[in-house]
Each structure stands twice: as structure tokens, then as C-alpha cells.
Amino acid sequence: MTDNDRFLSPSAIHLATLERVPSLPTNVGREVAFEISVETTLRGATLGSGPSRATFPFMDMHGVAEAAALGIAAGIRSTVPLAALGLTLPRRRLYGAPLALASAGELVYDKLPQAGARTEPISLTARIVSGAIAGGVAARVLDASIALGASTGAVAALASTFLFRRARAEAARRVPALVAAISGDLLAIGTSAAATRRLRRAR
């Protein structure tokens, strides 16, 4: 084997071997050809090294479900997922009490007549930012891609904002408005609790 052969792929080496042996029985030729066709394992730069797997950060979907769940909760109630993270994750409990108070204030304000629409620019921005932060924190806890977690949380919050705005309006036609609002509170709290529970188990 020459020095150049050391940097050839396994398939190229098999082909070179076939060229050097002009006369082979038919069954041997078929076996060699089959071996070439199925040789798809990536190897190192030199022969004899173990197989390596090509991995790309954007292909790591770890933590996406948790980030999406927290983003959905942010679209319903912007501060609830942040409060849930602050109250349940040990390193962030310092922020738990203030976030819980802010979340309680949001839940109360949401029931008042002067509460604005969740799709107004300020409210919508707050929900998207909250979803991005919550998704990024979830990804960091799981040692996953923070960028992927944050973007997933932001997109989920954006979609959830418009989806549950319509769902609440439809529910208010069938049940009292207060019942529809409290149902949204419970859904946001339950979704956030489920996501943080998964984070604690996966740590």
C-alpha cells in the first residue's frame, strides 16, 4: 500500500484492488461489488481508526419538547413559565419568589376589564421574549443547544398567543368569561409544571 492509499476511502481501496486483479471468478466479483456497495461507514483520515459519527448541533433535538411546552405556556400567561422555572430549579430559586409574585399579578390583571389584548405589540413581545428565555433555560439545564431552545420557545409562544386568544374567545361564548380565563391559567400552570418536572427528571 502506498502513502496515497492511506488517505483513500474504503470504497476507493476496494476499487483499486479490483483493478489490480483483472481475472476474478464471477461469485468473487459479486461479493466484492456487494462489499463496495454497502461500505458506508465513515472512517478517520488513516486506515485502522475506529468509525466516527458525523454530528451537527442543529440536529440535536434534545430539550425541544420542554422548550416548546414552556413557550406555549408563555403564550397563554407570559410570566408563568419563568415563575415555574424559578421555583423548581435549584440554581434559580433566588428569582422564584419575585417571578411568582409577578405571575400572580398577571393572573389577577388578566381578569380585569382594562386588561389589554394579548396580541398588542407590548404584550406580544413580552410573551415571545418570555418563551425564548424559558426555552433557553430549559436547553441549558439539559446541556442542549441554547439557540435551538430559545428559538423553539419563542416560536411556540408566538403561535400560542394567537391560538389561545381565539380559543378563549370561543370558550367565552359557551361559558362565563371568568371561567374561560381561569381555564387558561390552569392550562399555563399545568403545562409549565409538566415541563419543569421533565427537566428535573432529566438532570
Residues 6+ apart with CB under 8 A from 111: 178, 181
What whole-number distance in Å separates Cα of residue 74 and Cα of residue 154?
A: 9
The 10 Å CB-count burial string (b at 16+, else e) for 5-31 is eeeeeeeebbeeeeeeeeeeeeeeeee
pLDDT at site 114: 87
Burial class (CB in 10 A: 0-12, 13-18, 19+), 73: buried
Q: Would you put residue 48 in left (φ > 0), alpha (ψ -120 to 50) or beta?
A: left
- Percent above pLDDT 70 for the chain: 68
Would the pTM count as exceeding 0.75? no
Reported as a single tens digit per residue, the pLDDT across 83-133 is: 999 998 876 666 788 999 999 999 999 999 888 889 999 999 999 999 999
pLDDT interval class at 60 (50, 70, 90)? low
pLDDT at site 95: 79
Reported as a single tens digit per residue, the pLDDT across 132-174 is: 999 999 999 999 999 999 999 999 999 999 999 999 999 989 9
